[in-house]
Chain A
Amino acid sequence: MDLQPRDLAEEIKHLQRCVNDLISVLALPAMWSGGEPSQIVHTLLDALLRMLQLDFVYVQLKKTDGQAPIEMVRFAQSEKHKAWPHDIGEALKSCLGVDPQEWPPLMRAPLGDRHISIVPLGLGLQSEIGVIVAGSERADFPQQTEKLILSVAANQASIGLQEARLRSEQKGVASQLDRRVAQRTAELAAANEELRKEIANRKHAEEDLRASVEKHRVIVETANDAVVSMDETGAILFANPATRRIFGYDPIEIVGKPLTMLMPEMMRKLHENGFKRYLATGKRHLNWQGIELTAQRKDGQEFAVEISFGELTSDGHKVFTGFIRDISERRQAEDQLRASERNLQMTQAELARVSRLTTMGELAASIAHEVNQPLTAVINNGSACLRLLANRNLEPEVLRRALEGIVADGTRASVILTRIRAFIKKEPAEKNRLDINEVIQEVLVLAGRELYENQVLLDHQLTTDLPFVLADRVQLQQVLLNLIMNSIEALTAVTNRPRLLWVQSRIDESGDVLVAVSDSGTGFGLELDRVFTTFFTTKAKGMGMGLSISRSLIESHGGRLWATPNSPHGAVFSFTLPATAGSTS
C-alpha cells in the first residue's frame, strides 16, 4: 500500500494507540481478578466504549442454569437514543437473528434512523458464555486494529468470565460445603445438647431417686406408725423404730420371726389362713386401705390398731408392708363419745318420759281429784242410805235428798269428764294430705336409737304408690311411736329368740291405708281385749294411757286401731286410715 509521510505518521500514531489499547485490554484481567462477572463486564464495556469510540456496546451473558441471560449496554456520551439493555437485545435479535451464535461477524444494519456497523463477538469458544456486540455509526468500523482489540478483549473477557464463573462455581461448592459443614455441626451440637440434657435428666432422676429413697427412709424411720414388712412366708423382714413404742419390741428382736407374734392368739390362725388364701388366689378379703384390728403388745396387752397394707414384688418375691397405727386412744375417745352420746340420749329419753309422765301424772291427778269429789259424795250418800236402811231408819224425805244428791253428783262427774275430754281435744288436729310411708320413716328414725339399744331387728315392707291420707302428722307420729315403743318394750323381755319388729304399710280390702306394727315380743296372753282400756297396762312403768289415746287419735281420723296376736309370738297392732284422692307416686 502506498503511504504518504503524513499518513505514515498517522499510521504510526494509530498503531501506537492500538498497541496501548491492547496493553490496556491485556491488563484488564489483573483488575478483574477475583471480581464478579458483572464487574468484569462493566469494566470491559467501559474500556471498549472509550478505546474504540463506539456508539454503543452491548453484552449478553448466558446463564448456565437456564435463567434469563444478563444483558448490559453502554452508550457513548453523545448518544441521544439510549435504550434499555433488553430492548437493544430484542432489536439485535430482530435484525441479526434469534441465536447469537448464528450472528454474522459484521453487519451494517439500520437501527432507528441510522445505519450502524455492528460487530458481534462470541464469548467463549462456541459463544457459550455469551456475546459482545459493538456498534458504531462510523462507516469504517471496524478497522483492522479495532477488530484485533475487540477479539483480544473478547478473549480476555471470556477467560476472565470463565474464571469468574469457575470461581463462582467453586465458591458455590465451597459455600455449599460450608453450609453442609455448618448444618452438620449444628446437628452435632444439637445432638450434643440433647445428650447433655439427657445426662442431666438422668442425674436429676438419680438424685430424685436418692432423695426419694432418703425421704422415704426418713419417713419410715421417724413415722409415728409402726411400719412392718414381711415376706411370703409371713416372716418379719423389717420393722421401723416406732414398732418399739407401739408394740414394745425392739425391731431387731422381731426380724425373722413370724408376723403373727404381733397379733392376739385368737387372730393368728385367721391371719395365716387368710394370708395363704391370698397367696393362692390373689383375692383380698380385707380392705387393705385402713382396717381396724386388734394387735398385741410384747407384754400381752391387746390394743386397737388401724392397718393399711401394701404389696411389692422384688426379685420375683412378694413383700408385704403394713402401716400400723395405734388407735386405742382414739377408740377410747370414740367409746367415751359414744357412751356420753348414749347417756345424753338416755337422759333426753328419760327427760321426755318423765315430762310425759309428769304431764300425764298431773292430768291424772287432776282428773282423779275432780272426779273423786262427786264420787266421794255419791258413795257417802249411798253408804249413809244403806246404814239407815239397815237400821230401818230411812225416812223418805232423807232418802229423796240423798238420791237427789247422788244424781246431781253423778251428773257432775260426767260433766267433768266431758270437760276433760274437751280439754284434751283442745288442740285442733291439723289435717294434711300425708304420705303414710314418709311418716313411718320419720318415726323409725326417731325410734332408731331405741331399736339399736335394745337389739331389735327392724324389717319394713312399705308399699309404694299408696294413696295419701288426710291426717295430723304429729298425731300419726305419736300413734306410730307409741306402737313401736310398746313393741320394743315387749321385745326387751325376750331373750331366747330374735327380737323382731315389722312395720308394714298397704291397702286393705276396703281400700283404706293400713299400717301394721308386729313384734316377736311377749304378746298379750289373755288380756287382748283389755289393752285398749284406759289405765290398763302390762308394763311395770306404764300409765295404761298410750293405746287408749292412740285409739282415740286414730278414730278421730276416721280410722280403726286394733290388736291381734302374732304367730308364734308377739302382737300385731294395726290401724287403718281412709285413703284420699291422689297417689303418693
Chain B
Amino acid sequence: MSGAPVIFVVDDDPSVRFSLKFLLSTVGLHVESFDSADTFLRKSPPDVPSCLVLDVRLPGLSGLDFQRELAARKIYIPIVFLTGHGDIPMSVRAMKAGAVEFLTKPFRDQDLLDAVRIALERDHARREQEKEVVILQRRFDSLTSREREVISMVVSGMLNKQIADRLGTAESTVKVQRSRALEKMHAESLVDVVRMIEKLKGPSGGLR
C-alpha cells in the first residue's frame, strides 16, 4: 500500500492557499500548494493518492485548460474546482471532463472536505487498479509470443482443438502452452485469466 495522500492546492491567492492548507490540515491531510498551474506541472507526479484543489481563474493556464493539459499528459489526478462565481456552462464542462466537484467561493468547509475525500478515494481506487494492470502487464509481457497467441484465442472462447487447427500444431502442444501461460499469469482458472486480460484492455491499461 502507498503512503499518506497529498492534496495539491493551486490558487494564485496566498491567503486562500494558506487557509486551504490550514483547513485541510485539520483533518490530517498533507497539503502542497502552488501559485500556478505551471509550477505544479514542473513537479513530477506523486506516487501516492492525491487530488488537486484548483481555482478556475488562474493566471497563465486557466483551470479548465489545465484540466485538459493533465489529461493530455495522462495524469489522471482527480480535480476539485473552486470558482469565484458559479458559471453553469463552465461547471458542466469541468464535470464532464472528470472533475469531482465544482465549489463556489466561499464554500462550506464540509463541502470541500467531502469533495477532497471523494477525490482521494477515487484516486486510490484508480491507483490500485493501475498497479494491478502494471503487474498483469509485466506477467503478460513474460509470455512467449506463441503463449500470447494461445491465451488470446482461449480468452475469445476457442477450444484447444480449434486453436491447434488454427496454429497447425497438435492439440497436446496447445494444452502445454496454455497451462504454462496460466501459470505465468498467476491465474488460478480460465475465468481468472479472462478477467485479467479484460483489465489489461481497460482504459488505463494497454494491451501491448
Contacts and interface: CB of A to CB of B under 8 A. Distances in A.
A383 B15 CA distance: 14
Contact of B107 (A368, A376, A384, A401): A376
A412 interface: yes
Nearest first, the 7 A-B pairs at minimum CB distance are A380-B19, A383-B109, A369-B84, A377-B15, A377-B19, A384-B23, A376-B105
A381 B19 contact: yes
A381 B22 CA distance: 7
Contacts of A9: none
A320 to B, nearest CB: 70
A380 B85 contact: no
A16 interface: no
B26 A368 contact: no
Contacts of B168: none
Interface of A: 365, 368-369, 372-381, 383-384, 387-388, 391, 393, 398, 401-402, 405, 408-409, 412
Interface residues of B, number: 20
B26 A388 contact: yes
B57 A377 contact: no
A384 B22 contact: yes
B203 interface: no
A387 B26 contact: yes
Interface in B2-49: 13, 15-16, 18-20, 22-23, 25-27
B89 interface: no
Given A384-B109, A402-B22, A373 B84 contact: yes
A375 B23 contact: no
A249 to B, nearest CB: 64
A381 B23 contact: yes
A371 B88 CA distance: 20
Contacts of B84: 365, 368-369, 372-373
Contacts of A377: 13, 15-16, 18-19
Interface of B: 13, 15-16, 18-20, 22-23, 25-27, 57, 82, 84-85, 105-109
A379 B106 contact: yes
Contacts of B57: 369
B116 to A, nearest CB: 13
Contact of A373 (B13, B27, B108): B13
A337 B108 CA distance: 56
Given A368-B85, A377-B18, 15 more contacts: A368-B84, A376-B16, A376-B82, A376-B107, A377-B16, A379-B106, A380-B106, A380-B109, A381-B23, A383-B109, A384-B19, A384-B23, A398-B22, A405-B15, A408-B15
B165 to A, nearest CB: 69
Contact of A375 (B26, B27, B82, B106): B106
A120 to B, nearest CB: 154
A391 B107 CA distance: 21
B16 A373 contact: yes
A405 B18 CA distance: 9
Contacts of A376: 16, 19, 82, 105-107
B85 A365 contact: yes
Contacts of B106: 372, 375-376, 378-380
Contacts of A401: 22
Given A384-B25, A402-B22, A372 B105 contact: yes
Given A365-B85, A380-B19, A387 B13 contact: no
Contacts of A387: 23, 26-27, 109
Contacts of A375: 105-106
